[in-house]
Structure 1
Amino acid sequence: MDVRKIAKLAHLEITDEEVAVYTPQMASIVSYVEQLNELDTTNVEPMIGGLTTEGAATVTVREDVPNASFAQEDALSEAPSSIAGHFQVPKVLG
């Protein structure tokens, strides 16, 4: 498991001590996923959103009622950065 590579992909800086801690943790996660892959799921019904296709569980949701939206100034008041009345975010794509 290459913890440094994953940290780089996630734009994280980690110390040698953190690599020593995270390496066995990540290896344990991968080992568990490998165990799950060994299970025979041939006769297992697919699940949709955590519910079986028979609807054995029920989900309670609130009624979809429109509410007043935030004023633009209120929405932007907590933003770390805004420009011309919009949220300003770092450029992601080159």
Structure 2
Amino acid sequence: MNRGRILELQCKALGNAKRLNILIHLKDGSMESVSEIAQIISLRIKPTSKHLQKLEAAYLLERRKRGLHVYYHLPLKRPAVLKAVLKTLN
């Protein structure tokens, strides 16, 4: 995938308040499950999962599977657009 397409996906992913709330919550380096994130952003699990998929597809989140559960966290090597957004939201 080319860089222009990746940036487009990132901008679209960042254009949603629920997804921004997810990123803000995870910015401290925490790793949370879908159900934990759903509770934090006050959504059901299915729509939360869709938001997480969009963030992951845009390289703004990574996931790690542990047993039956999937945990999401911010990537160690954060894209510039993510760094800028998190800095702005501080």
**What TM-score does the superposition give when structure 2 sets the normalisation length?**
0.26
**TM-score calculated relative to the size of structure 1:** 0.25
Larger radius of gyration: 1
Structure number with higher relative contact order (C-alpha < 8 Å, ≥ 6 residues apart): 2
